[in-house]
Amino acid sequence: MKSKKLAFIGTGNMAFAIIQGLLKSNYPASQIIACNKSNLARREALQAVGIATNFANREAVEQAEVIVLAVKPQMMAEVCAEFADLDFSDKWVISVAAGISVTRLETLLPNAKNIIRTMPNTPSLIGEGMTGLFAKKSVNSTACQFAEELMSAVGKCYWVDTEDKINHIIAITGSSPAYFFRFMEAMQQSAIQMGFSEQDARLLVQSAALGAAKLVASNPATPISTLRENVTSKGGTTAKALDVFEQQNLAKTVENAMWAAIHRAEEME
């Protein structure tokens, strides 16, 4: 990845994860400026690895070639107002903020022509993320490539060609870690009712979930339905359990849940 002078506006959990990923892939710390309002310990940790943390947002944006907007969505308007009048002709803007459209970012930063919206998910915090990316066709392709390389520091990337699909990505990868957690929680609860300790129930459930996810990932040519069938003998225990899911129309429930997430994302834009 060709390094560029990067300014993180907001260095909370997400930005810190990206920075850690960048450093792991040998991105020079001297090319990174991290702005953060609170969290002294975070600033000290960044300084210890050679990242500049003593710039005001405006100064950082002035110095940077790429600006990563990583404050909470509700802070975005106030923060962007600090540097909206600067010349952005040679700068690229990458937002990781949930629910803020490119059109809205263009309103907040009217001088910025190259804006890329990204939608990472929580597993990004441990380098196992999946990030959806969107940019208008007019955005410089090198900027898009840079954004992809940046987000690859915390996992995998997936481009969407229209912005409404970012809301689909929210339902598929953004919110979905919670769907799996909910499922695992329910399984853990049942195991506890069977008499297992909370800790043992967790270990058993998380091992099964991780193993299943790894089986899917390590058999890319095998449909997930085949993997399911492979563990389902006719009339056996798994078949009996899956029958219950079918009776309760699990697929429809999941579909409804995902569309509820999409509709909420649309309302929030």
Question: Which residues lie near ligand NAD (CB under 6 A)?
Answer: 9-15, 35-39, 57, 70-73, 75, 79, 96-98, 120-122, 125
The smaller minimum CB distance to ligand NAD, of residues 120 and 146, is found at 120
The smaller minimum CB distance to ligand NAD, of residues 38 and 193, is found at 38
- In the complex, the smallest distance separating the C-beta of residue 35 from ligand NAD, rounded to whole angstroms, is 5
- In the complex, the smallest distance separating the C-beta of residue 133 from ligand NAD, rounded to whole angstroms, is 12
- In the complex, the smallest distance separating the C-beta of residue 234 from ligand NAD, rounded to whole angstroms, is 42
Contact 120, 92 (CB under 8 A): no
The smaller minimum CB distance to ligand NAD, of residues 146 and 155, is found at 155
- In the complex, the smallest distance separating the C-beta of residue 127 from ligand NAD, rounded to whole angstroms, is 12
Alpha carbon distance 7, 155 (integer Å): 20
The smaller minimum CB distance to ligand NAD, of residues 74 and 190, is found at 74
| Residue among 163, 157, 99, 96 at smallest CA distance from 132 | 157
Alpha carbon distance 21, 18 (integer Å): 5
The smaller minimum CB distance to ligand NAD, of residues 43 and 91, is found at 43
- Which residues, including other chains, have CB under 8 Å from residue 135's CB and lie 6 or more apart? 102, 114, 115, 116, 117, 143, 144, 147
- In the complex, the smallest distance separating the C-beta of residue 184 from ligand NAD, rounded to whole angstroms, is 18
What is the per-residue burial (b if ≥16 Cβ within 10 Å, else e) of 153-169?
bbbebeebeeeebbbbb
DSSP 57-93: HHHHHHH-SEEEE-S-GGGHHHHHHTTTTS--TT-EE
- In the complex, the smallest distance separating the C-beta of residue 56 from ligand NAD, rounded to whole angstroms, is 9
- In the complex, the smallest distance separating the C-beta of residue 263 from ligand NAD, rounded to whole angstroms, is 19
The smaller minimum CB distance to ligand NAD, of residues 71 and 262, is found at 71
The smaller minimum CB distance to ligand NAD, of residues 11 and 188, is found at 11
Structure tokens at 134: 């969107």
**Distance from chain centroid for Cα 43:** 22
Contact 81, 105 (CB under 8 A): no
